[in-house]
Amino acid sequence: MRSTHTQSLVLFSGDEALAQGAFEAGLEFAAGYPGTPSTEIIEHLAQFPEVNVQWSVNEKVAFEVAYAAAIGGKRSMYVSKHVGLNVAMDPLMTSSYVGVNAGFVIVVCDDPGMHSSQNEQDTRLFARAANVPLLEPSSPAEAKEFVKEAFAISERFDIPVIVRLTTRICHSKENVELAERHVQPTKPFTINMAKYVMVPRNALARHQDLMGRMAMIKIFSERSKLNIAQSGKKAIAFITSGVSYLYIKENYPDSPILKLGMPYPFPEKKVRDFCKKYKNVYVIEELEPYLEEQMRMLRMRFKTKHPSFSVGELRPEHIPVIVSGKPKPKRIVPARPPMLCLGCPHRLVFNLLKDLDVVVAGDIGCYTLGSLPPFSSLHTCLCMGAGVTFFEGLSHVFKDKKVVGVIGDSTFVHSGITGLINAAYNKAKGVVIILDNAITAMTGGQPHPAVGTTIRSEPTKKLILEDLCRVAGADHVDVIDPTDLKGLEQLLRQRIDEDALSVVIVRKPCILLVQKMKKG
Amino acid sequence: MAKAKITNIVFYGIGGQGIVTMAEVCGWAAMLAGFHVKKTEVHGMAQRGGSVESYIRFGKKVFSPLPQTATADYLICLHPEEHPRLLGELKKGGVDLFPYLEVAQKVVGDKKVFVNSFLLGVLSSYLGLEQSYWMQAMEKIFKRSLDENKAFFQQGYQAGGSL
Ligand code: SF4
């Protein structure tokens, strides 16, 4: 792969390469919500004026807006991390029935090993559940090519297509060649209720139609070069997908490998033929035993990983261990865990919460680190928005304990607001703190509606959080700067003791954001 | 098929020390020199003072972005406390560039941000990639103080091999 150096050669991450590939494929619309390790895809796209790009308020909204743009006739893409797709499951599950007009690609970045996530779900299972094809590149350079293929498949078979990356691909870099952009002609939108209005009768017909489309895609998957068998020395052979392919090549460069770049729909015949050719076949995959289960259904003979390998990220040195049939070796994690930045405004709040005798329902953001010493004052964290809903649920059942909900500004807009409306409607009492640092900080600093700027830093309508909370039904809404420690403590003590639903907006920008602005 | 030679480099520091950028410059230099490069990181949420470990691998064709354990040819470490643990990443005969950290700190004095460029210069003296590729790489990556970065890089290059 020694390539001559040209102007078009760049060192790109999987995220950047995927964005670049989509751009070259004529992408015209993209929407997402920030989430590690997917964030840089949308950020990279924002530099292309040809593409209409947005941070949406959450993944469900992003999915629907982007999907509609595809139905409206322009190649379009949705981007999120794995848990983001959960929020967008509702539109996803019916989108396979409806199909597309112009191509629609769903990019989902899984996080094996949970470098920055609350679980390590495997999106391949979701593709099966939703009946949409899934492509799985192994490297950044492949991500760029696969996303183009995904658009082609989407249009050819009238179906949304998932491209799945994992953290190791998203955030590793390699040589990538840039190419020309090819814009596709707009596909006119025609009124077609049978396709676009999913009421039961239409949906039943579309479900039937989906079966036919998936059967065709299965034939495609059997023939496609995305699923490619490489021959080699016969002693030991592998079936794999994603980054695991590279770990196998690293350890067994001369072994035959069936690399499944399109693991769903599963290319049964190709797999059968491969297994017929080699006696000693190993299935190696990160996280869930997806390939393994498909093969069991076909009653094929193969060996696979010890179940302990279903947890956490695979590493190159694991492959020989898997082949030997042994369990996963224990690994010593790096000694220095992350912490809230020095000077982070959240520190003031968590220091204070430690002194108040309350249970703190937390949420997802930098401030989740408030659960670690020296603060140790955040007691639950489940998913986006649960800072408010856990506050409500706990407050309904606690007799002699007080609960405080804690949620960030971006997370509140994402899914905290529905919880607050619910709390007001169902007469919950107590305090929800919105830690308003004027940015989506954990993912590196993205704007959102309450910031008042778009992804391209253009001014736009600004959502006023205090107004929103009032109309949602909060009895009291206070705004306070956390450097006023005395004032904050007094306010919190007072609000916690009252028989009312209160929102306290603690407002001070993220210190990293402030530093960035200073630098210009 | 003989295994083609791959060069593995480990960069270690904590969030905010510029580890990722340092590895980026090295990766660009190797790519411009005509090699296939893979770069990857192991870190939590970098901005918050956690460990950052960045790997560069380059050669004719590189598969895994992550190196196998104990295969590093070179180690650059910006954090004294973690240095003993990281020695385990070096292969037998691998080169530990940690001793140059002190030299770098002396040379740059108050201009602490240039420690990394000095160390890259040291590294460059070992890697045998042409200097012009390093210069081009720095032009790509450093938006600020390019000339000073290049100057400290040169000093590092001169110092390389002296310890
Ligand atoms: S990035 Fe901002 S919000 Fe996050 S810990 Fe640092 S200062 Fe706090």
State which residue of chain B sits closest to A247, comparing Cα positions: B64
Is residue A1 over pLDDT 60? no
Is residue A283 over pLDDT 70? yes
Predicted pLDDT of residue B2: 41
B interface toward A at CB cutoff 8 Å? 1, 3, 14-15, 24, 27-28, 31-51, 53, 60-69, 82, 85
> Does residue A231 belong to the interface with chain B, where contact is any CB pair within 8 Å?
no
Please name the residues in contact with B88: beta carbons below 8 A apart, sequence gap of 6 or more: B69, B70
Would you give the DSSP letter of residue A395?
H
The helix/strand count (H/E) of chain A reads as 21, 18
Q: What angle do CA B101, B103, B107 make, to 5 degrees?
A: 115
How far, in Å, from the CA of B117 to the mean position of ligand 1? 27
Q: Which two tokens mark B13?
A: 């520091």
Task: Give pairs for A301-306: CB < 8 Å, separation 24+.
Answer: A301/A275, A302/A239, A302/A275
The string of DSSP codes covering B109-124 is TT-GGGHHHHHHHHHH
Cis before A133? omega within 30: no
Q: CB–CB of A249 and B63 under 8 A?
A: yes
Average pLDDT over residues A136-153: 98
Return the percentage of chain A with pLDDT > 70, whole number. Answer: 98
Predicted pLDDT of residue A3: 42
Is residue A32 over pLDDT 70? yes
Predicted pLDDT of residue B3: 53
Write out pLDDT tens, residues A457-516.
999 999 999 999 999 999 999 999 999 999 999 999 999 999 999 999 999 999 988 888
Return the percentage of chain A with pLDDT > 90, whole number. Answer: 93
Which of A2, A174, A315 minimises the CB distance to B60?
A: A2
Query: 3-class SS at B84?
Result: helix
Write out pLDDT tens, residues A259-282.
999 999 999 999 999 999 999 999
Say which amino acid occupies A270: K
Token pair 């539109």: residue: A91
Where are chain B's structural domains?
A: 7-159
Predicted pLDDT of residue B51: 83
**Distances in whole angstroms, Cα of residue A278 to Cα of each of A165, A249, B62:** 29, 17, 26
Is residue A98 over pLDDT 70? yes
Q: Count other Cβ atoms within 10 Å, centred on residue A243.
A: 28
Lowest mean pLDDT, pick from A208-217, A240-249, B1-10:
B1-10
Best of A346, A411, A515 for a ligand 1 pocket test (most atoms within 8 Å of beta carbon): A346
Domains of chain A: 9-223 (3.40.50.970), 227-324 (3.40.50.920), 345-518 (3.40.50.970)
Dist CA B160 CA A95 (whole Å): 59
Write out pLDDT tens, residues A200-219.
999 999 999 999 999 999 99
Tell me the pLDDT band of A338, cut-offs 50, 70 and 90.
confident
In short, whether A349's Cβ falls inside 6 Å of ligand 1 is: no
How far, in Å, from the CA of A441 to the mean position of ligand 1? 6
Please name the residues in contact with A73: beta carbons below 8 A apart, sequence gap of 6 or more: A101, A102, A186, A187, A188, A189
Q: How are beta strands A501-507 and A76-81 bridged, if at all?
A: unpaired
Predicted pLDDT of residue B44: 60
Predicted pLDDT of residue B42: 76
Predicted pLDDT of residue B41: 86
Predicted pLDDT of residue A115: 85
**Distances in whole angstroms, Cα of residue A136 to Cα of each of A107, A109, A166, A225, A242:** 10, 10, 9, 13, 5
Write out pLDDT tens, residues B96-112.
999 999 999 999 999 99
Q: CB–CB of B36 and A2 under 8 A?
A: yes
Q: Which two tokens mark B54?
A: 């960045």
Residue B150 main-chain phi, psi, to 5 deg:
-65, -40
Predicted pLDDT of residue B78: 95
Predicted pLDDT of residue B47: 58
Is residue A371 over pLDDT 90? yes
Return the percentage of chain B with pLDDT > 90, whole number. Answer: 80
Q: Mean of the per-residue pLDDT values for chain A?
A: 95
Query: A-chain residues within 8 Å CB-CB of B68?
Result: 250, 316-317
Q: Which residue has the higher pLDDT, A518 or A509?
A: A509
Is residue A176 over pLDDT 70? yes
Are A217 and A133 spatial neighbours (Cβ–Cβ below 8 Å)?
yes
Best mutation target, A321, A336, A368, to test chain B (most B CBs within 10 A): A336
Q: CB–CB of A11 and B65 under 8 A?
A: no
CATH fold label, B7-159:
Pyruvate-ferredoxin Oxidoreductase; domain 3 (3.40.920)
Predicted pLDDT of residue A91: 98
Tell me the pLDDT band of B45, cut-offs 50, 70 and 90.
low
Is residue A4 over pLDDT 50? no
Cα dihedral across residues A459, A465, A471, A476: positive or negative: negative
Query: What is the ipTM, given to two decimal places?
Result: 0.94
The whole-model pTM stands at 0.96
Q: Count other Cβ atoms within 10 Å, centred on residue A490.
A: 12
Which 186-215 residues of chain A touch chain B by CB within 8 A? none
Write out pLDDT tens, residues A34-56.
999 999 999 999 999 999 999 99
